[in-house]
Amino acid sequence: MPKIAMIGAGSVVFTKNLITDILLFPELQESEIHLMDIDEDRLNTAYGLTKRIIQKLGIKTKVYATLDRKEALKDASYVINTIQVGGHEATIVDFDIPERYGLRQTIADTHGIGGIFRALRTIPVLLDIIEDMQKLCPEALLINYSNPMAMNVWAVYEASPIKVVGLCHSIQGTAGQLARYIGVPYEKLRYRAAGINHMNWFLELEVDGKDAYPALRKAMENPEIYQKDPVRFEIMKLFGYFVSESSEHMAEYVPYFIPHEEKIKQLNIPIRELIRRDRMGDEIYKYYRRIAKGERLPEIDEEKIMQMNPSTPGIREYINRLQKEIREYNQRLAEGKNPLPPLKRSPEYASKIIHSIETGHRRCIHGNVKNSGLITNLPHGCCVEVPCMVDKNGIQPTYVGELPPQLAALNRTQINVQELAVRAVLERKKEYVYYAALLDPLAKAVLRSDEIIAMVDELFEAHKRYLGYFD
């Protein structure tokens, strides 16, 4: 059975979901799971939760926790990466400094100025990880969840022969939303999607063999539905296709919305959304930390979380689910039963990939991989997100061909920035960071070139503890 190493396991909620997914497959229950993080407190919480999951399932999976990355990686078959270099403090800097220059962002973790500097912090650590992998587990598959997805994966395959795939839940998540918008069961929706991470396009939408785009355009006319996804519906009006990532993400990838105050209000664009999510994540972490210790839990403070994250789609449903889990948890605790919320499979692909490779069960996933002619009108070698088949032979990306030219053109506005940021790190060329920032669609729509340069100077100074490799 495989050894699965989870690097950055202190992302407790995400780790809990991934481990639950893995262990709900009977064929993977004899795996060895090795959790690694640099934060001992969070690592211990993840370890405690994992042991409770194993206990609840009544299985004998071996789980280990370590602060030593090399120990976790030794002889691993799969390496799941979820690191966030710099944490919440660095993220705040990525928002605050651009804001002082007049550049507002919503998420700032994938594209744009925030995405560039997150890449500059993250890629060097990834390079250290893959260097260790080449010595300790050269045949392992690296499954990357860390953002900025495309830049991270691009850097890995440029720098080493390690097998890598980047995973995101936006395709399957958006497909579920689209099914709800047009009022059909998710299982009846057939789709074909391709592009780049967080700017992937639903090229085909079908229900019972018929084009579902007319139904989606009709649904968009319903104000209640439109308000759930205003930016993405506006993009569909402009370019003809629905995009994979959320409205709050997409708002900062193009120059049409955030530079205009009236558009921010009209489309309810949540500036600094990621900061609110991080604060909410801390509240949820406290909840799981107490579960790991087997404590009785207080009710979630609904209003506090709503104030942190008022615009996130489905937030009320999420809070209601948490409240229900807490009540059930406390009831089981009172009855002397195993105190853990119900175990449910998440939409993430990682466990399915591992299961397919180990058992030969064939599946289709959407993965971020090297563009080796898969999308013919995007640059060769860039990182694309395409349908991939998975079985005992591993991950096999599928050929897409040409995207509609307007969609490829939009993708290239981000690919240009990604390439320069990746080259900046791999070639240690600081000037490439400035070129990347000057080409960012949102930054150049808001700021003069001299302002962009001054902003980048200030970001370099603020993040210098992570960026010393440029000196």
Report the CATH number that the domain containing residue 8 is assigned in CATH: 3.40.50.720
Region 424-429 average pLDDT: 98
Paired tokens of 37: 């993080």
User: For residue 319, what pLDDT is reported?
Assistant: 66
User: For residue 378, what pLDDT is reported?
Assistant: 99
Its pTM stands at 0.92
Region 305-326 average pLDDT: 61
| Domain annotation covers residue 458 | no
Does 433 score more than 60 pLDDT?
A: yes
- Looking at the chain, the whole-number percentage of residues with pLDDT higher than 90 is 80
Band the pLDDT of 330: cuts 50, 70, 90.
Answer: low
One-letter amino acid identity for 379? P
User: Is 169 an active-site residue?
Assistant: yes
Does 264 score more than 90 pLDDT?
A: yes
Q: Are residues 149 and 115 in the same domain?
A: yes
Paired tokens of 281: 């994540």
Does 286 score more than 60 pLDDT?
A: yes
17 has binding-site annotation = no
Q: Can you state the angle between helices 40-57 and 273-293, rounded to 10 degrees? A: 60
Does 334 score more than 90 pLDDT?
A: no
Q: 98-123: string of b/e by CB count within 10 Å (b at 16+)?
A: beebebbbbbbbbbbbbbbbbbbbbb
Band the pLDDT of 342: cuts 50, 70, 90.
Answer: confident
User: For residue 275, what pLDDT is reported?
Assistant: 76
Does 305 score more than 90 pLDDT?
A: no
User: For residue 312, what pLDDT is reported?
Assistant: 53
Band the pLDDT of 295: cuts 50, 70, 90.
Answer: confident
pLDDT tens track for 181-236: 999 999 999 999 999 999 999 999 999 999 999 999 999 999 999 999 999 999 99
| Domain annotation covers residue 468 | no
Q: Are residues 13 and 63 in the same domain?
A: yes
User: For residue 13, what pLDDT is reported?
Assistant: 78
Region 312-331 average pLDDT: 67
| Domain annotation covers residue 252 | no
User: For residue 274, what pLDDT is reported?
Assistant: 84
Of 34, 169, 380, 463, the active-site residue reads: 169
| Domain annotation covers residue 341 | no
Does 367 score more than 70 pLDDT?
A: yes
Determine the Cα–Cα distance for residues 117 and 459; give it in Å rounded to an integer: 8
Band the pLDDT of 172: cuts 50, 70, 90.
Answer: very high
User: For residue 293, what pLDDT is reported?
Assistant: 76
Determine the Cα–Cα distance for residues 8 and 67; give it in Å rounded to an integer: 10
Q: Which domain holds residue 326?
A: 274-334
Domain final residue, candidates 301, 334, 367? 334
pLDDT tens track for 271-285: 988 877 776 667 677
| Domain annotation covers residue 154 | yes
| Domain annotation covers residue 447 | no
Q: Whole-number mean pLDDT of the chain?
A: 93
Report the 3 state secondary structure along the chain. CCEEEEECCCCHHHHHHHHHHHHCCHHHCCCEEEEECCCHHHHHHHHHHHHHHHHHHCCCCEEEEECCHHHHHCCCCEEEECCCCCHHHHHHHHHHHHHHCCCCCCCCCCCHHHHHHHHHHHHHHHHHHHHHHHHHCCCCEEEECCCCHHHHHHHHHHHCCCEEEECCCHHHHHHHHHHHHHCCCHHHEEEEEEEECCEEEEEEEEECCEECHHHHHHHHCCHHHHCCCHHHHHHHHHHCCCECCCHHHHCCCCCCCCCCHHHHHHCCCCCCHHHHHHHHHHHHHHHHHHHHHCCCCCCCCHHHHHHHCCCCCCHHHHHHHHHHHHHHHHHHHHCCCCCCCCCCCCCCCHHHHHHHHHHCCCEEEEEEEECCCCECCCCCCCEEEEEEEEECCEEEECCCECCCHHHHHHHHHHHHHHHHHHHHHHCCCCHHHHHHHHHCHHHHHHCCHHHHHHHHHHHHHHCCCCCHHHC
198 has binding-site annotation = yes
Q: Are residues 24 and 152 in the same domain?
A: yes
User: For residue 303, what pLDDT is reported?
Assistant: 56
Q: Are 354 and 78 in contact (CB under 8 A)?
A: yes
Count the domains in the chain: 2
Least confident of 24-38, 237-251, 265-279: 265-279
| Domain annotation covers residue 156 | yes
Q: Are residues 124 and 65 in the same domain?
A: yes
Band the pLDDT of 88: cuts 50, 70, 90.
Answer: confident
330 has binding-site annotation = no
Determine the Cα–Cα distance for residues 335 and 328; give it in Å rounded to an integer: 11
| Domain annotation covers residue 279 | yes
Q: Among residues 454, 349, 466, 426, which one has the least CA distance to residue 18?
A: 349
User: For residue 316, what pLDDT is reported?
Assistant: 63
